[in-house]
């Protein structure tokens, strides 16, 4: 019973009635879901099966190239091919040219901009 007093907060037992349930602020599964590679390995093996002398990966690559040349989704297929071969382009935001303009604005002007998507004129802030 003396041990239970250590776990009490505001008169209630931490971890539920029994003290064995989840504690507030603590994850019940701190390590997360265990990663399994069974499905990934099965797909990897299937990609390199050669039912007709060509691997499934070769068939997929051919279908993707055909789609990029003649299919309805030409742009998406070509983009996917280039992303895989060349890597995706890094996305960059240049905030240097925005920062001085924001630094000179008042809080009221910034709130107005967030609400209306344009900077206020002097008469609109009154």
d(CA 30, CA 94): 37
Judge whether residue 23 has pLDDT over 60.
Answer: yes
The verdict on residue 78 lying in a domain is yes
Tell how many helices (H) and how many strands (E) occur in the chain: 6, 2
Share of the chain above pLDDT 90, in %: 15
- What's the pLDDT at 16? 62
pTM: 0.40
The verdict on residue 59 lying in a domain is yes
Instruction: Print the domain residue range for 118.
Output: 93-126
Residues contacting residue 108 through CB under 8 Å, at least 6 positions apart: 120, 125
The verdict on residue 38 lying in a domain is no
Domain count for the chain, please give it.
2
- What's the pLDDT at 123? 80
Q: Find tokens 């990897």 and name the residue.
A: 44
The mean pLDDT of the chain is: 80
* pLDDT tens-place string over residues 29-82: 778 877 778 888 888 888 888 878 888 889 989 999 999 999 899 999 999 999
DSSP collapsed to 3 states, 72-105: CCHHHHHHHHHHHHHCCCCCCCCCCCCHHHHHCC
97 and 126 co-located in one domain: yes
């Amino acid at each position: 019973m003396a041990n239970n007093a250590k776990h009490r907060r505001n008169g209630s037992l931490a971890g539920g009635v029994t003290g064995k349930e989840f504690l507030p602020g603590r994850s019940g599964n701190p390590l997360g879901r265990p990663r399994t590679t069974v499905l990934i390995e099965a797909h990897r093996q299937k990609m390199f099966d050669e039912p007709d002398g060509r691997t499934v990966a070769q068939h997929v690559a051919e279908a993707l190239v055909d789609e990029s040349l003649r299919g309805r989704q030409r742009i998406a297929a070509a983009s996917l091919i280039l992303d895989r071969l060349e890597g995706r382009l890094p996305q960059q935001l240049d905030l240097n040219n925005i920062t001085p303009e924001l630094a000179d604005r008042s809080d009221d002007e910034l709130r107005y901009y967030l609400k209306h998507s344009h900077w206020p004129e002097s008469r609109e802030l009154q």
